[in-house]
Amino acid sequence: MVDVGKWPIFALCPQEDLKLIRKACVFGSGNEVLYITKNDEVFVMGTNSSGCLGTGDAQSIIDPRCVSVLSGKKIESLSCGSGPHVVIITSDGEVYSWGHNAYSQLGNGSTNQALIPCQVSTNLVNKKVVSVACGSHHSMVSTSDGELYAWGYNNSGQVGSGSTANQPIPRRVTSCLQNKIVVGIACGQMSSMAIVDNGEVYAWGYNGNGQLGLGSSGNQPTPCRIATLQGIRVEQVVCGYAHTLALTDEGVMYAWGANSYGQLGTGNKSNQAYPVQVCVDRERIVEIAACHSSHTSAAKSQSGQVFMWGQCRGQAVISPHLTHFSCTDDVFACFSTPAIMWRLLSVGLLELATLYRENRLKQLCQQSIKQGPGRLLLQILHKPYDYGYPDGRLC
Of residues 115 and 386, which shows the higher confidence score? Answer: 115
Q: Are residues 346 and 284 in the same domain?
A: yes
pLDDT tens for 71-101 read: 999 999 999 999 899 999 999 999 999 999 9
DSSP 26-74: EETTTTEEEEEETT--EEEEE--GGGTT-SSS---EEEEEE-TTTTTS-
CB 95 within 8 A of CB 120: yes
Q: For residue 193, give the nearest of 165, 223, 166 by alpha carbon.
A: 223
pLDDT at 358 over 80: no
Q: Can you give the pLDDT at residue 361?
A: 46
- List the helix and strand counts (H, then E) for the chain: 4, 27
Same domain for 260 and 361, yes or no, is no
When pLDDT is averaged across residues 39-54 and rounded to a whole number, the result is 96
CA-only gyration radius of the chain, Å: 21
Which residues fall within 8 angstroms of residue 50, CB to CB, at 6 or more apart?
58, 83, 84, 85, 99, 100, 113
Kindly state whether residues 203 and 104 are assigned to the same domain.
yes
pLDDT for the residue numbered 314: 84
Residues 302 and 392 in one domain: no
Tell me the residue length of the chain. Answer: 395
pLDDT tens by residue, 176-198: 999 999 999 999 999 999 999 99
281 falls in which pLDDT band (50, 70, 90)? confident
* pLDDT level of residue 354 (50, 70, 90 thresholds): very low
Number of domains in the chain: 2
Looking up residue 252, the CATH number of its domain turns out to be: 2.130.10.30
218 and 183 Cβ atoms separated by less than 8 Å: no
Average pLDDT over residues 126-150: 98
Asked whether residue 179 falls in the same domain as residue 299, the answer is yes
What local confidence, expressed as pLDDT, does residue 3 receive? 72
Instruction: Tell me, yes or no, whether 278 and 358 share the same domain.
Output: no
Q: Are residues 160 and 15 in the same domain?
A: yes
Give the structural domain span for 65: 4-353
pTM: 0.87
Q: Say if residue 252 is in the same domain as residue 346.
A: yes
Q: Are 25 and 45 in contact (CB under 8 A)?
A: no
How far is 143 from 108, CA to CA, in rounded Å? 18
Same domain, yes or no, for 241 and 330?
A: yes
Asked whether the predicted pLDDT for residue 362 surpasses 90, the reply is no
Q: Are residues 199 and 346 in the same domain?
A: yes
Mean pLDDT of the chain: 90
Both 309 and 362 in one domain: the answer is no
Residues 383 and 252 in one domain: no
Q: Count CB atoms within 10 A of the CB of residue 35.
A: 26
CA distances from 202 to 225, 256, 259, 273, 362 (A): 4, 14, 21, 14, 35
